[in-house]
Amino acid sequence: MKRYALIVFSIMFFSCSTATLTSVAIDQKLPTKEDDILESKPHTNYTIKKDVDAYPESIIFIIADGTGIGQYTLSYYANGEFAPARFDHIGLVATHPNDGECTTTCKRVTDSAASGTALSAGEKTYNGAIAVDNDKNPVKTMLEWAQENGMSTGLVATSSVTHATPASFAAHVDYRKKEHEIAQQYATADVDVILGGGKKFWPDSLITFYKSQGAQYIEDINTPIEEDKRLLGLFAEKGLSKVYKGDREVSTTQMAKVALSKLDKNENGFFVMIEESQVDWGGHANNGTYIKGEMESLNELVNYVLDYQEVNPNVLVVLTADHECGGVAVHDSDGGDLEIRFTSEYHSANFVPIFATGPGASVFDAFIDNTEIGKQLIKYINKN
């Protein structure tokens, strides 16, 4: 009898438990992909609201392409000394392309062309656009404003010099892949210094023309520089070699030293954009080792430039990114190592930091839209 009662009780218990679990499963269904698709809401493009406390005479604008909080976190834990900690001011930047209210076609993730244009000209545009607006009309960049004000100008990149970010400062084309056309525009753009990769986009005839316009062309960073000529240095067929491979043709810091040695002799001041281009490429490759090497290069560059700024306090130094790439996150691994995880092989809409030191730097202590950086630096260049 006892055995029978136990069997009956067991059947009733497990039947109730199964019913309860089924009820929970119905009431609390497992997450699905649809749960991760969220309705996009109209956003606010936040502006700089602080008053300017001083105007710089010169500007060094560093763009670490594809570098968000995850990449800086990786560098902080993997590269030792964290050079960006030396900056006096820090803010946060939204990077979406296009302006206005969001509709069914609104994009939150930018490419380097649209974000480069936002940074160079202070104007939103479509992905792929190089210093043109949504109607494909040219927009004036801070480098062009600097030239108009008699300042010396320069572009430095570890990608091809005709890649999207540097191109957004000195060329105007409707699509970023037109690098041969961008090189042709550079040849007559009167930029004082252009250093980086991308020889494949400069045929011999264009180099010959460029030199005929009173310019020097070099393929070795140790070549003696002719002070009275504009300078074009191309050190690789495409982008420079990866830092972690150990065979980079020339460091970002070496190029920055050459650029500043030419530019800072102008009594009207100078503007230079220096791009640490390949942090972005490490994100696209989902390769933590690649990112680590490029962030190590950025650390070296930041230390050099901030040392230079300490000796030249009239110079404003700004460091930011055009966007984040890879959705990078840092996790613990075995034995105290780091595990780098990625959410994408493309860019993300994640916010990026901005760091600044020098006259006018305090206005960047804010959460702002990326166009505000372009507008503010143009304001400093025009002293208005």
Structure tokens at 232: 């074009």
In a domain, 120, yes or no: yes
In a domain, 281, yes or no: yes
pLDDT value of position 257: 98
User: Model pTM greater than 0.85?
Assistant: yes
Side-chain-facing half-sphere of 371: CA atoms under 13 Å: 17
Please tell me the total count of domains within the chain: 1
CB-based burial, 289-310: b 16+ in 10 Å, e otherwise: ebbbbbbbbbbbbbebbbebbe
CA pair distance 262, 277, nearest whole angstrom:
22
Q: Which residue has the tokens 């252009």?
A: 194
pLDDT, one tens digit for every residue, the chain (384 residues) = 445 554 444 444 444 554 444 444 445 667 777 889 998 888 889 999 999 989 999 999 999 999 999 999 999 999 999 999 999 999 999 999 985 455 556 789 999 999 999 999 999 999 999 999 999 999 999 999 999 999 999 999 999 999 999 999 999 999 999 999 999 999 999 999 999 999 999 999 999 999 999 999 999 999 999 999 999 999 999 999 999 999 999 999 999 999 999 999 999 999 999 999 999 999 999 999 999 999 999 999 999 999 999 999 999 999 999 999 999 999 999 999 999 999 999 999 999 999 999 999 999 999 999 999 999 999 999 998
| Domain hosting residue 327, numbered range | 34-382
pLDDT value of position 11: 45
pLDDT value of position 33: 79
Structure tokens at 184: 């042709």
pLDDT value of position 102: 59
In a domain, 236, yes or no: yes
In a domain, 92, yes or no: yes
| CATH number of domain containing 154 | 3.40.720.10
In a domain, 252, yes or no: yes
The catalytic residues are: 112
**CB burial of residue 105 (10 Å; 0-12, 13-18, 19+):** exposed
In a domain, 81, yes or no: yes
Q: Do the Cβ atoms of 66 and 326 come closer than 8 Å?
A: yes
In a domain, 285, yes or no: yes
Q: What is the DSSP letter of 346?
A: S
